[in-house]
Structure 1
Amino acid sequence: MRAISPAAGRLFRRLARDERGLSAIEFALVGPVVFILILATVEVALDMIVDASVQFAAQQASRAGLTTVVPSNVTRDAQARQIINDILGGWKRMGGTVDIATRAYTTYNDLGSNNYQQSMGGFGDVVTYNITVTIPTFSGIPKLFGFETLTFQRNYLVQNEK
């Protein structure tokens, strides 16, 4: 008993040597993987941009508060918040949230205690700047791993000039 007729055997051998359509099959197999890698790369690059902007905003705000020079038209706290909002405002327009918290301690020994003021502090005070940005994902790739939003945070600790 034969499994395949001679004509069917010739047909299979001819099809095995035929390379027409092979690139389409290869593209169908590799294309989605390459596309996901490209999207993931773009997502990581945009996340790094957000992280760098949060870093920059924290640095600029702490510099503004560090000098204890009171601006002529606003408070130091309002000036620092304006600097942060100017730098991070684009992420707010994309659906993100920006949280800013400042705490002023009289000495380094008071850090972490309940002995603080919600302000930029005075001369010689130790001030912490906590900036948190929460944004939706850009490409949706993090959603595949259970991340609906991404959170970026910077905490700065400076001592105001005396």
Structure 2
Amino acid sequence: MRAPSPKQGRFLTRLARDERGVSAIEFALVGPIVFILILGTVEVALDMIVDASVQFAAQQASRAGLTTTVPSSGTRDAEARRIVNNVLGGWANIGGSVSITTRAYTTYNDIGTSNYQDSMGGFGDVVLYNISVTIPSFSGIPKLFGIDSLTFQRSYLVQNEK
């Protein structure tokens, strides 16, 4: 192998010290990572908003059923569903779905057994509210990890007033 000529040596030295274009190369390397981190942060923030709205809807629905008084708008079950749909209806509009189930048990000992009614129960009954929202991801970041849709769920267990 031949040694570089003096002219080639000066060129290589000058090339090694040349800093033009370094910031463009750094941006090309770091830019996509920063962009994904920003999108991921926005995704997590929006997911936390959905989660908080499911929490709020479950609390409000359980309050509607807790009193065992029939609201002027219809049955307690219909009132609880109306409250949940008012709070979570916007998430269904973006391609998601909202699921509401209620199970009334006569005592706390019956929870988890087949001794229940699909209703809000009567006086003194123990009612389990389960509210679930399934939505597509906002940014598409979860799809990179094989997650096609996100599900947020809350369950509340209350005893109706006697």
Specify the TM-score bucket, using the shorter chain as the normaliser: over 0.9
Counterpart position of 1:136:
136
| TM-score of the two chains, using structure 2 as the length reference | 0.97
Amino acid at match of 1:123: F
Residue equivalent to 1:95: 95
> C-alpha displacement at 1:161, in angstroms?
0.5
Amino acid at match of 2:144: L
In structure 1, the partner of 2:119 is 119
Structure-to-structure mapping, 1:47-58, within 5 angstroms: 47-58=47-58
In the other structure, the counterpart of 1:105 is 105
Unaligned runs of 5+ in 2: none
1 CA distance for matches of 2:118 and 2:9?
84
Counterparts of 1:3 and 1:116, CA distance in 2: 90
CA distance in structure 1 between the partners assigned to 2:154 and 2:105 by the alignment? 18
Separation in 2 of the partners of 1:69 and 1:84?
18
Match of 1:157 in 2: 157
Distance of 2:8 and 2:74 partners within structure 1: 88
Give the match's secondary structure for 1:114. Answer: coil
CA deviations over 1:58-93 (Å, ceiling 9, x no partner): 000001100111012310000000000000011000
Q: Which residue of 2 aligns with 1:10?
A: 10
What displacement does 1:2 show?
Answer: 2.1
Contact 2:130 2:154 in 1 (8 A): yes
**Whole-Å separation in 2 of the counterparts to 1:157 and 1:99:** 17
Please report the RMSD computed on the Cα atoms of aligned residues, expressed in angstroms.
0.9
Match of residue 86 from structure 1:
86
1:63 maps to: 63
| Offset of residue 3 of structure 1 | 3.7
- Percent identity between matched residues is 79
Instruction: Tell me if structure 1 keeps the 8 A contact 2:127–2:159.
Output: yes
Shift of 1:30: 0.7
| TM-score computed with the length of structure 1 as normaliser | 0.97
Alignment coverage as a number of residue pairs: 162
Q: Following superposition, which runs of at least 4 residues in structure 1 exceed 6 angstroms of deviation?
A: none
